[in-house]
A = this chain, B = another copy of it.
Amino acid sequence: MNYTKDDLLKLFHGKRTALFYYIAGFVDGEGSFSVAIIKNPFKEGWLINPCFQVYQHQKHREILELCQEVFKTGSIYRKSGVHPVLNFSINSMRNIKERVLPFFDKYPLVTKRDAYQKFREVVFALDRKEHLTSKGFERLVRIAYSMNQQGKGRRRTLEEVLASQPKPASESSETLRRTSA
């Protein structure tokens, strides 16, 4: 049987706090906080992109819709690959700052607590434009690579990313800029 998002909200008897603690637990199982380091498609350098995701088999799309309801944002799309898995994703800096961080600062994570703290640190540092200096950029990339099994599964090694960092003429020039902020 499939439940609609409204059926699910009823399970929590209209108690949104109960639903929020449930969602924190579910994210601890099926969610991910990651920081992608991707090549800037328009110029030399890299983009540092934080992303919050929740995965689920497509037969339980309703739980991802419940996440949309809770965070009041986020897209659901089919993940590439053979398995019929859906992905709920929030990757805009604004939504991460306004919806994701305040939520998990209040409703606690357990197994993903460390990953979340690093994710949070990267988001705030990007907001302070720390990534625009070589030193700041390196610090954030190192944090990103220390998350989620120490960079396992990343296309490039930490050394490759740091080696091909453009050397800014002035440390304050914006050689690295995020596009999705």
Q: How far is the CB of A57 from chain B (nearest CB, A)?
A: 8
Among A1-24, those with CB < 8 Å from B are 1, 3, 8, 11-12, 17-19, 21-24
Q: Which of B3, B22, B60, B113 contacts A25 (CB 8 A)?
A: B22
A110 and B25 contacting across the interface, CB-CB below 8 Å? no
CB-defined contacts of A108 to chain B, threshold 8 Å: 11-12, 22
Q: What band does the interface of chain A fall in when counting residues whose beta carbon is under 8 Å from B?
A: 20 to 34
A69 within 8 A of B: no
CB-defined contacts of A127 to chain B, threshold 8 Å: none
How far does the alpha carbon of A17 sit from the alpha carbon of B21 in the complex, in Å?
A: 9
Supposing A18-B21, A24-B25 touch, asked if A111 and B1 sit within 8 A by C-beta, the answer is no
CB-defined contacts of A29 to chain B, threshold 8 Å: 25-30
Of the candidates A8, A23, A108, the one having the most CB atoms from chain B within 10 angstroms of its own CB is A108
Q: How far is the CB of A117 from chain B (nearest CB, A)?
A: 9
B110 and A3 contacting across the interface, CB-CB below 8 Å? yes
A residues whose Cβ falls under 8 Å from a Cβ of B: 1, 3, 8, 11-12, 17-19, 21-30, 56, 60, 62-63, 66, 107-108, 110-111, 113-114
Can you list 22 pairs linking A and B with CB atoms under 8 Å apart?
Answer: A1-B114, A3-B110, A3-B113, A8-B110, A11-B108, A11-B110, A17-B18, A18-B21, A19-B21, A21-B22, A21-B25, A22-B28, A22-B110, A24-B25, A25-B25, A25-B26, A25-B28, A29-B29, A30-B30, A60-B111, A63-B111, A66-B110
